[in-house]
Amino acid sequence: MSKRDLLLEIGLEEMPARFVTSSMEQLSEKIQSWLQSKKIDFDAVSSFSTPRRLAVLVEGVREAQADLHEEVKGPAKKIALDENGQWTKAAAGFARGQGMMTDDIYFKEVNGVEYCYVEKHIKGMETVSLLPELKEIVAGMSFPKNMYWANEDLRYIRPIKWIAAMYGEEIIPFSVAGVSSSNWSMGHRFLGEKTEFATAKEYEEALLQQYVIADPVKRKDIILSQIKVLEEENNWIIPVDEGLLEEVNNLVEYPTALYGRFEEEFLQLPEEVLITSMKEHQRYFPVKSKDGNLLPYFVTIRNGNDQHLDIVAKGNEKVLHARLADAAFFYREDQKLAISDCLTKLEAIVYHDEIGTLAEKVNRVRKFTNQLADILAFSSEDKQLADRAAEICKFDLVTNMVNEFPELQGFMGEKYALQKGEPEGVAIAVNEHYMPRNADDSLPSTDPGALLSTAEKMDTIAAFFAIGNIPTGSQDPYALRRQASGIVQILETKGWKLDLEKLIEMAVTLIAEDGIAIQERGQLEKDILDFFKLRLKYLLQERKIRHDIVDSVLVFKIGPVAELVEKADILQSRLSAEGFKESIEALGRVINIAVKAEGGEIRPDLFENEWEQKLYNKFLNVRESLDANYSSKHYFELLVSMKDEITDYFDHTMIMVEDETIRRNRLNLMDSLARLIKGFADFNKINVK
């Protein structure tokens, strides 16, 4: 069967850089899924994207669907034939439903029963007749943000300007939003021009001739190699932020790296200010010396060739100068502010209409921080540091610098706090309470910073849950999932003996005292706990913990997060250990039977055999040993040490006897044992078959 290459390119007005890569991947996945669903074989897939195009080239696409040879099973023979050996309506309906005749039916035996079968032979359709369906793929693309244009009904990321759709040398005919498919594309907006393709395979090379590097991987490699040349020529270090590199790569079609400079006087500004001005506002890479000091240079990526780079550099220098001059002005103005004045301003800033002002939130977080510091028995010094950091943690939000550069919240708080004479531990905690800011960010390094971060994030989650602002699907405008994940990571890393349930209860109590509406407290706390269980589930899955073990440790009380993670690690590591299966089954059996218990004291005087007494004695010893020397490893070893006593007990003791007093006493023993066991995990969730 002969093959041809398939090309589909959607030409657009410039897309937002942050959506380009995901949109390219979506288009590739949709085309591959469509080919597979149509049973059209292909060899390889290449994806392309620039700010103005999304494209896929599929090599070696067969010219027809694979022929279908399928054996279809129907009703049993006894249903297909009546007592006279004639075909029944069931048999006729089966054959008709498969497009066959009853004469085509044959019988095969399966597990001692004969069934009707027919064999279908369906010749595959020609690929070229199916390809116009690609129109639905183009029209069906989804994007985070869409727009209408002209008189079109289609909502899309940006207006469609052209569509190149080819199968070998043929144009695939269809149109979307008034744009008909063709065999041409547009080159670079300023350096290139319209270009036609004789075949689909010419796509990448033809665009290169028009100053478009369509492969984003090749484009990124070119950027990196050009940056490397600048480093070597000037004896520089140019730190490459992966997020910035990805963004710049999706802003250009034909990259050329160049550098410019700014006045050395701006180096008096904090490094974070300079880098943020360059990175966030201008998409520039900063330049450092070999010893790590910031230099008065920047690197930018031009969307074009290497002609007149000196003019381009001067233009960029002029723009950056204005940015840095503004930053310097804001920085000087901020030096005039007192922290106390900033805190007063927080009283007039509404954090959220239903939650209150920033000042109210800060007061609540400060109370929370102090309560947690007492529970965790912080030293008096760390308590003082955490208290002061909590009191001033949001003061930099009203500074000119953070107002202009919101990305610098926390960073400027630390700088300004040090300048105003605050202890270093306080300044660091002010910055650290925002950590982790994202999935790649560091965790707070100090105890006051970690405690404040935990309190502030938990307060945010509790408050928004209380007013019904709960993340759904992909919607999480206040980044509550990220903040919950941050809390989980901090609690695990610090290993604090702080029950997650207690943490939630304290947060809910504080927001209730502040008058934030709570409809049903018990349900609110449950909703928040369930929310955290999902974050814990993701954490454990990232550690390669088996799904049933994850479920087993999340069923009952969570307790300290570090201990929960340790329990999961222990169970995962013991899966193949000798006797694990038997121990898990014994512990699970206790949990099962304890469901019938109503609770009450255990009366040893009602024991009727030695096995009851032995199990009871073992239970007391285990409980006492846990109280004296607790660790998750020790806990598990003590539980499995009860296996023999539990097994002997069930072998020699009937729990559900007619005597109600004896039955209740035995169930009470099971209940006490189960509560001890469930403190570790629900062993019935673990698959040991």
Residues 510 and 451 placed together within one structural domain of the fold: yes
Contact 80, 90 (CB under 8 A): yes
Cα gap 448→429, rounded to integer Å: 6
Residues 204 and 308 placed together within one structural domain of the fold: no
Entry pTM: 0.81
Contact 434, 372 (CB under 8 A): no
Residue 593: per-residue pLDDT: 92
Residues 434 and 503 placed together within one structural domain of the fold: yes
Tokens 């009853």 identify what position? Answer: 102
Tokens 């140019």 identify what position? Answer: 238
Q: What is the pLDDT of residues 2-40, one digit of tens each?
A: 999 999 999 999 999 999 999 999 999 999 999 999 999
Mark which of 172, 190, 208 sits at the end of a domain: 208
pLDDT at residue 688 is higher than 90: no
Residues 397 and 511 placed together within one structural domain of the fold: yes
Cα-Cα-Cα-Cα dihedral of 211, 214, 219, 222, to 10°?
Answer: -50
pLDDT at residue 289 is higher than 80: yes
User: 562 in a domain, yes or no?
Assistant: no
Element holding 334 (H helix, E strand): helix 309-334
User: 316 in a domain, yes or no?
Assistant: yes
Query: 373 is written with which tokens?
Result: 């510091």
pLDDT at residue 519 is higher than 80: no
| CATH code of 507's domain | 1.10.3210
Q: What is the pLDDT of residues 464-482, one digit of tens each?
A: 999 999 998 878 889 999 9
Residue 1: per-residue pLDDT: 59
Percent of the chain, pLDDT > 90? 89
User: 559 in a domain, yes or no?
Assistant: no
Percent of the chain, pLDDT > 70? 100
Supply the mean pLDDT for the chain: 94
Residues 76 and 47 placed together within one structural domain of the fold: no
**Order of strands, sheet of 294-303, starting from the edge strand that comes earlier in the sequence:** 255-261, 294-303, 285-288
Cα gap 599→674, rounded to integer Å: 11
Q: What is the pLDDT of residues 555-578, one digit of tens each?
A: 999 999 999 999 999 999 998 888
Mark which of 175, 192, 208 sits at the end of a domain: 208
Residue 227: per-residue pLDDT: 97
Residues 525 and 416 placed together within one structural domain of the fold: yes
Average pLDDT over residues 660-683: 93
Q: What is the pLDDT of residues 202-233, one digit of tens each?
A: 999 999 999 999 999 999 999 999 999 999 99
Contact 33, 25 (CB under 8 A): no
Residue 68: per-residue pLDDT: 79
Residue 600: per-residue pLDDT: 87
Residue 101: per-residue pLDDT: 92
Average pLDDT over residues 401-426: 95
396: nearest Cα among 435, 448, 346, 328: 346
| CATH code of 178's domain | 3.30.70
Residue 681: per-residue pLDDT: 93
Q: What total number of domains does the chain contain? A: 5
Residue 438: per-residue pLDDT: 87
User: 460 in a domain, yes or no?
Assistant: yes
Q: What is the pLDDT of residues 485-501, one digit of tens each?
A: 999 999 999 999 999 99
Residues 595 and 642 placed together within one structural domain of the fold: yes
User: 224 in a domain, yes or no?
Assistant: yes
Residues 589 and 666 placed together within one structural domain of the fold: yes
Residues 325 and 182 placed together within one structural domain of the fold: no
User: 563 in a domain, yes or no?
Assistant: no
Q: What is the span of the domain harbouring residue 509?
A: 340-542
* Residues 6 or more apart in contact with residue 628 via CB below 8 angstroms: none
Q: From residue 597, give the alpha-carbon distance in Å to each of 594, 600, 617, 643.
A: 5, 9, 20, 21
Residues 286 and 346 placed together within one structural domain of the fold: no
Residues 507 and 628 placed together within one structural domain of the fold: no
Residue 102: per-residue pLDDT: 92
User: 558 in a domain, yes or no?
Assistant: no
The CB density around residue 227, as the number of other CB atoms within 10 Å, is 20
Burial class (CB in 10 A: 0-12, 13-18, 19+), 360: middle
Residues 38 and 132 placed together within one structural domain of the fold: yes
User: 548 in a domain, yes or no?
Assistant: no
